[in-house]
Amino acid sequence: MTTAPGDPAPAYEGRPLPRPGEELVDQGLAFDVVTLLSRRRLLGLVGVGAATLGLAACGADSGTAATASSSSAGASAAGGEIPDETAGPYPGDGSNGPDVLGESGIVRSDIRDSFGEYTGTAEGVPMTLELTISDLANGGVPFEGVAVYVWHCSRDGGYSLYSEGITDQNYLRGVQVADSAGLVRFTSVFPACYTGRWPHVHFEVYPDQASITDSTSAIATSQVALPQDVCDAVYATGGYEASVATLARVGLDGDTVFGDDGGVSQLATVTGSPTSGYTVRLAVGVDTGTAPTAGGTAPGADGAPSGAPPVGGDGTPPTGSRPAPPSN
């Protein structure tokens, strides 16, 4: 692509090309991500899978495809509102039985141990989760002061407070308050893949720490999707054996939560290794100008994790019940 002296700078859709001497497909990942977001807004998510594949083809080679996919996902979340998703049947926020958010000690960074009256530690490959929250209603500035509640399943695929054998545990649940950069950081373990769902982490965003005792105060409810290459590496280690076969039976594009757009804005950027542990990062845009459309749901809406008994109408697993097949 060439220009003569005095010609206007080359542009696409009103945006100057960062590499005016190169073809449109060679403008770089950042330019591609903005183009993808523009198409999502125009098309209402229709055809985004094909658009994503097209952008991936512009990358260097297949060896970097997984990294590029994870990186673009983090960037896209920063450019738009995080999708509202189900809190699932095991939130522990009082909307479906147990309420861990009213307990002293829930505000913590290391969520591997149970706290309060419970004792116990969740085992697994170390995972640091970093969420950077931005305030879209105020121009995308860091959302300092919001409280973020995070929860996820164990290495065995069960949820504390609900699943058979761990109803007397409250590990893998915790709250952090965003710092001046909008960042919250949790130390945890990598979750399993259970029947019916792609590996994921749940989170709710509240206006402030004082609001966490009322689940209806959440201003955003969503989930973090974990990249397949990282899941494959983790599940090859001891303790995750059951997740190998389960992951082989699910797909990100067919997931009941991420399947509408392939998790394009919820797929985390991940670095690390099974021996040193992983750091999982996602940029989360929250728009308080829009009404939340998700949150607490009826039991079974998130799929039943392995080892989780059916949940009663009050969210309490029936005594002595056996694991139920997943609902989706």
pTM comes to 0.71
pLDDT at 312: 34
What are the structural domain ranges in the chain? 11-59, 82-286
Mean pLDDT of the chain: 78
Looking at the predicted structure, is the pLDDT value of residue 231 above 50? yes
Q: What is the dihedral of CA 103, 312, 299, 232, to 10 degrees?
A: 80
Q: Name which CATH class applies to 82-286.
A: mainly beta
H/E stretch holding 243 reads helix 241-248
Average the pLDDT over 84-90 and give the result: 96
pLDDT at 82: 96
Q: What is the pLDDT of residues 166-210, one digit of tens each?
A: 999 999 999 999 999 999 999 999 999 999 999 999 999 999 999
pLDDT at 79: 59
Q: What is the pLDDT of residues 20-76, one digit of tens each?
A: 666 655 555 554 544 444 443 333 333 333 333 333 333 333 333 333 333 333 334
Contact residues for 266 (Cβ-Cβ < 8 A; gap 6+): 73, 77, 82, 83, 85, 222, 223, 224, 225, 258, 282
pLDDT at 326: 34
Q: Could you give the 3-state DSSP secondary structure of residue 286?
A: strand
Per-residue pLDDT band at 292 (split at 50, 70, 90): confident
